[in-house]
Each structure stands twice: as structure tokens, then as C-alpha cells.
Amino acid sequence: MTFNIIGSILPEVTIAIAICIVILVNSLVRNASVTLIHSLVLFFLSFALFLSFVSLELPDSNIFEGHYVIDAFGTNLKIIALIAAIFVHLTSIKSKQNIKNEIFLIQLFATLGVMILCSAHNLLTVYLGLETLTLSMYGIVASNRNSIEATESAMKFFILGAIASAIFLYGVSILYGVTGTLSLDLIENSKLLDSLEMRIAVAFMACGIIFKFGAFPFHSWVPDSYQGSNTTAAIYISSVPKIGAFALIARLFLDSLNAISDFWSILILSAGLLSIIIGNMIALVQVNLRRMLAYSAIGHIGFVLLSFSIVNPNGVSASMTYLIMYLIMTIAVFALIESIASEDHQHIELGDLKGLSKSHPLIAFMLLFCMFSMVGIPPFIGFYAKWIVLSELVNNDMIWFALIGVTMSVIAAYYYLRVVWFMYFENNDQDIENKGVINTQSITSIMISAMLLLIGLYPSPVIDYTRRIISSFLLID
């Protein structure tokens, strides 16, 4: 019995063990090199990934008194999260850097938090998973502790995060008061599901969830922390935590509160729509590359939420498809930026990209892929993401939202193209020499960028995959 339980949560256990080992290594081994830490982290992440694949075979089960659930949906999300985390780690490999080893440790905590969120089936577990994630994110953002920007953004993030988690908790408390239970299964069966109290609780919780996604109006932390932290941190917080948020919204709202989906879908819808509009509009006038990407991320998340608010399996799987493709794009973009950012020059303004096509031709070319993908130009995956969401919107008589979405995409195209324009159409006044240093990091970032095109040429697997996961998830419960 016990072994079965442990067996079911082996991926999480692996990460937990990894945390302990890394702590030990980091403190006991004299001058533990980055490479060593990296290798350890990578090894454990890959091992956890492997175990997750193995546990796909396991039958669905509720463990820890129903606080934790092992099902295909959760495991698949874990797999995605782990893959994302692995890529993030790969892109952080840099020969020369002043990033402290702790950041990788804290990232492990965050990954653990996401994994807990993927499987949590009790509001308490959800809360703890969420806090594991959130607290680690504070640490990640602040990890560049000697930088004013990093600490400032971490401080803001912390305050806002604390407010958000308090708001979320307030919702949970009312939910608890209404239903008398913390278990997601039992909430579903509550007779008061359709009451006003319930809706108030859901509204509170929705705020918390939207904050985690980083969507309007709970988005304020996103630009500051993307810009303030170093790129390694930005890659992480822009990618993996979104999966946790998705798991959260899926388990809590889609599954347990499906009965009042017509209520919460409107909250999610409005947040999504406003995110698309506000995010893209503000991104237009940004000069800092990471800040611009942050706003663009808000816009992308808007699409995810918009599609999620359709609620039916098609809509949700479209939302998940968008999320996955967004992850690939965002990791690729940040990885490329990371690989051109020098140590003393972390804050890349658009102007710094001038002449990139000459100094780093390959990186520039891949960044071009990314930008067109973000715009939503085929055959890159960004297009399929947009298209599948638009399809579902049109299919569900939300054609006006689709029109707003595409219009904003056109506006968004401007600022994405600006990146291309600076890279290719402007010449750097100073040095025009090929600095194309090929290192592990560049190779990784190029690999990921190439995925944009490759998946773009044959997107069926991703589309079918999400569809399968979501439909199994919604049918089981």
C-alpha cells in the first residue's frame, strides 16, 4: 500500500530528493561548479520525466485520503512541465556566468510546486502547491540579488503575490464555508453549487488564478519581473508556472466547478479578452525587449484564457494547445535572447539588436522564426495556436471575440516585426563581425527554435495530444 502510494508519486519524490541532494552538494562540496549542479539538476529532471512516462501506465487513483490524484491529465501536465523545465535548464547553461547555484535549486522547488498543483485534489494541497510555486518564484525573480531591478521587481512581485494569494484564500475560505469541505470531489457534489456565495468564492479564486496566469487586471507583476530579473529567471517564470496555473484552473474550475461554468467562464473570458487587448497595446510602446515580451505574454495568455472560457473539451484542448505552443515559443525566444546577452548587459533594449543578423546570423535567423511565430504566421506553430483558438471561438458563436483577437494580432505584428527590423534592417554602427560563438546554449536555443518550424509543418501530434488529454480528463470525472 505504502509502496504503491510512493510509487505513484515517484516523480515528485525524485524532485524532492533532487532538492536535498543539490542542497547537500552545494553546501558540502567545495566550490561546487555550475556544471556539476547543472548536471545533477538535469539528471534528476530527466529521471523524473522518465518516471512520469512510466507512471502514465498506472491506473487512476486517489491517494492521501483523496488529497492527491494520479490520473493521465495530471501526469501529462507534469510531463509537459518537466520537459519545459529541462529546456529551461538547458538554455541556462552558459560557460561564464555569475548566476548563483541557488537559482537552480529554487527552480527545482518551483517545479515541484507545479507538479503538486498538477495532481492536487484538495484545496489545502492546492494551496500548498501554489505557495511552493509562488514562494520559489519570488526567490527566482530576486535571485540576482545585487541588482536594483531584480530586487525591486521581486519586491513588487512579492507584495502583489501576497495580495493575490490572500484573495485566493479568502475565496477558498468562503468555499469551505459554503460546502463544508476542502476536497475537490466533494465540492462538486455540494448542493449549494449554484448559490451566490459559491459564486463570490469563485470570483475570489478566479482573481488568484488569473494572477498566476498573469492576465489582466492581475498582470502587473509580469512586465516588471520579466524585465527586472535576469534572463535565466525570466525564462523560468514565463514558462513552467503557467502549466501550474493551467492545472489549477482545470482541476478547480473546469472539473469541480463545472456546474457553474457559465458563471466563471465569463470572468475568465473578460480577463482573457482584456489581456489580449491591453497586453498587445502596451507592448507596442515598449523598448525593452524583455518587457515587450512580457506584455506579449500577457496577450498570449489572453488567448489561452479566452479559449478556456469556451469550457467544452474542444475549447479547453485548444487552450492547452495554445499554452504548449506558447511555451515552446517563449522558451525559444528567451533562450535566444539569453544567448546573446552578455553578462554585464542583461537588459536588452530593442536598439541593442541592431546588426544582430551580422554579428549572430544564426541566432538572428532563429529569432526571426520566433517573431513570425509569435505574430502567428504559418508555417510556425504560433499560427496553429491562434488558428485553433479562433476555430473554437467561431465554432462557439464567439465570432466577435475572434475578430478582436485577430485584430489585436495584427497590432501585435507591429512590435514583433520591430524586432526583426532591428535585427535585419538596421546596421550596427560599431562592430560588424561575426561573433557567432556556438556553445551548448546556442545549440539548445537553436534546437528549440527549429521546433517552431518542425512542429509547424506537422502540428497534428500536438493537436491530437491535447485533445486526447482533455477529453480523457473531462470524461473521467
Partner 1 sequence: MLLEIIFYTFASILICASLGVILFKNPVYSAVSLILAFITTGMLWLLLEAEFLAIVLVLVYVGAVMVLFLFVIMMLNIHQEEERSGFTKIAPIAIFLGLVIAAELIALYWIQSDQFSGLESISNSSLSVDNTLLLGTELFTKYILSFEIAGFILLLAIIVSISLTLRTRKNVKKQIASDQIAADPKQRVRMVDIKRGEN
Partner 2 sequence: MLSLQSYLTLSAIIFSIGITGIVINRKNIIIVMMCTELLLISVNFNFIAFSHFMQDLAGQIFVFFILTVAAAEAAIGLAILVALYRNKKSISVGDLNKLRN
Partner 3 sequence: MILDLMIWSPVIVGLILLLIGKNTASLSYWISLATSLLVFGMSMYALSMFKTDQVGIQFELIAPWIERFNINYHLGIDGISFPLILLTTFITPIVLLTARTSNKINLHQYLASFLILEGLMIGVFSALDAFLFYVFWEAMLIPMFIIIGIWGGENRVYATIKFFLYTFLGSVFMLIAIIYLYISTGSYSIFDFYNLDLSRMEQILIFLAFLFAFAVKIPMWPVHTWLPDAHVEAPTGGSVILAAILLKMGGYGLLRFSLPITPAASNELSMLMVALSLIAIIYIGMVALSQTDMKKLIAYSSVAHMGFVTLGIFVVFLNHENASIDNMNIAISGAMIQMISHGLISGALFLCIGVMYDRIHSREINDYGGVALSMPRFAGLMVFFALSNAALPGTSGFVGEVLVILASLKVNFWIALLSSTTLVIGAAYTLWMIKRVIFGPITNEKINNVRDTSPVEFIPLIILAFMVLAMGVYPEPLMKLMYITLNDLSELVFTGVGL
**What minimum distance in Å lies between the beta carbon of 122 and partner 2?**
9
Per rule CB under 8 A, count of chain residues that contact partner 3: 37
Query: Could you say which of 46, 62, 151, 312 contacts partner 2 (CB under 8 A)?
Result: 151
φ and ψ at residue 458, rounded to 5 degrees: -140, 80
Cis peptide before 459 (omega within 30 of 0): no
Per CB under 8 A, 182 contacts partner 2: yes
Per CB under 8 A, 109 contacts partner 1: yes
Q: Taking CB under 8 A as the criterion, which residues in 395-454 touch partner 1?
A: none
**What minimum distance in Å lies between the beta carbon of 113 and partner 2?**
12
Question: Cβ closer to partner 1: 143 or 225?
Answer: 143
364 vs 386: CA distance, rounded Å: 24
28 binds, options partner 2, partner 3, partner 1, none, Cβ within 5 to 8 A by partner type:
partner 1
Q: Return all residues near 173 (Cβ < 8 A) that are at least 6 apart.
A: none
Query: Could you say which of 60, 102, 149, 349 contacts partner 2 (CB under 8 A)?
Result: 149
403 binds, options partner 3, partner 2, partner 1, none, Cβ within 5 to 8 A by partner type:
partner 3
Q: How far is CA 234 from CA 107, 153, 297, in A?
A: 11, 12, 12
* Count of C-beta atoms within a 10 Å radius of residue 21: 15
151 vs 139: CA distance, rounded Å: 10
Per rule CB under 8 A, count of chain residues that contact partner 1: 37
372 vs 382: CA distance, rounded Å: 8
Question: Cβ closer to partner 3: 61 or 407?
Answer: 407
Using CB under 8 A, which of the segments 32-40, 63-71, 214-222, 357-365 binds partner 3? 357-365
30 binds, options partner 1, partner 3, partner 2, none, Cβ within 5 to 8 A by partner type:
partner 1
176 binds, options partner 1, partner 2, partner 3, none, Cβ within 5 to 8 A by partner type:
partner 2
DSSP letter at 260 equals G
Q: Taking CB under 8 A as the criterion, which residues in 111-170 touch partner 3?
A: none
Per CB under 8 A, 254 contacts partner 2: no
Q: Return all residues near 469 (Cβ < 8 A) that are at least 6 apart.
A: 72, 73, 76, 77, 317, 320
Q: Could you tell me if 386 and 317 are in contact, meaning their C-beta atoms sit under 8 angstroms apart?
A: no
Query: Could you say which of 65, 344, 429, 431 contacts partner 1 (CB under 8 A)?
Result: 65
122 vs 305: CA distance, rounded Å: 23
Per CB under 8 A, 399 contacts partner 3: yes
16 binds, options partner 1, partner 2, partner 3, none, Cβ within 5 to 8 A by partner type:
partner 1
Q: For 58, how many CA atoms within 13 A lie in the half-sphere containing its CB? A: 25
Tell me which long-range contacts 184-187 makes (C-beta under 8 A, separation of at least 24): 184/121, 184/122, 184/123, 184/126, 184/251, 184/252, 184/255, 184/256, 185/62, 185/66, 185/121, 185/256, 187/256, 187/257
Per CB under 8 A, 363 contacts partner 2: no
Q: How far is CA 219 from CA 90, 99, 114, 212, 252, in A?
A: 28, 27, 19, 9, 21
Write the DSSP assignment of 421-473 as a string of letters: IIIIIS--SS---------HHHHHHHHHHHHHHHHHH--HHHHHHHHHHHHHH
Counting DSSP H helices and E strands in the chain, the numbers are 20, 2
Strands (E), 23-101: 61-63, 68-70
Closest among 471, 470, 412 to 77, alpha carbons compared: 470
Per CB under 8 A, 403 contacts partner 3: yes
403 vs 309: CA distance, rounded Å: 16
**What minimum distance in Å lies between the beta carbon of 10 and partner 1?**
14
Using CB under 8 A, which of the segments 2-10, 119-127, 267-275, 354-362 binds partner 2? 119-127
**What minimum distance in Å lies between the beta carbon of 178 and partner 2?**
9
Query: Could you say which of 86, 174, 381, 393 contacts partner 2 (CB under 8 A)?
Result: 174
Q: How far is CA 429 from CA 235, 351, 419, 432, in A?
A: 30, 11, 17, 8
407 binds, options partner 1, partner 2, partner 3, none, Cβ within 5 to 8 A by partner type:
partner 3
Per CB under 8 A, 406 contacts partner 3: yes
Which residues make up the interface to partner 3 (CB under 8 A)? 357, 361, 365, 368, 372, 375, 377-379, 383, 387, 390-391, 394-395, 399, 402-403, 406-407, 409-410, 413-414, 417-418, 420-421, 424-426, 458-460, 463-464, 467
Which residues make up the interface to partner 1 (CB under 8 A)? 16, 19, 23, 28-30, 64-65, 67-68, 100, 102, 105-106, 109, 112, 116, 124-125, 128-129, 131-132, 135-136, 138-139, 142-143, 145, 177-178, 192, 195-197, 200
Which residues make up the interface to partner 2 (CB under 8 A)? 123-124, 127-128, 131, 135, 138-139, 142, 145-149, 151-156, 158-159, 162-163, 166-167, 169-170, 172-174, 176-177, 180-182, 223-224, 227-228, 282, 285-286, 291
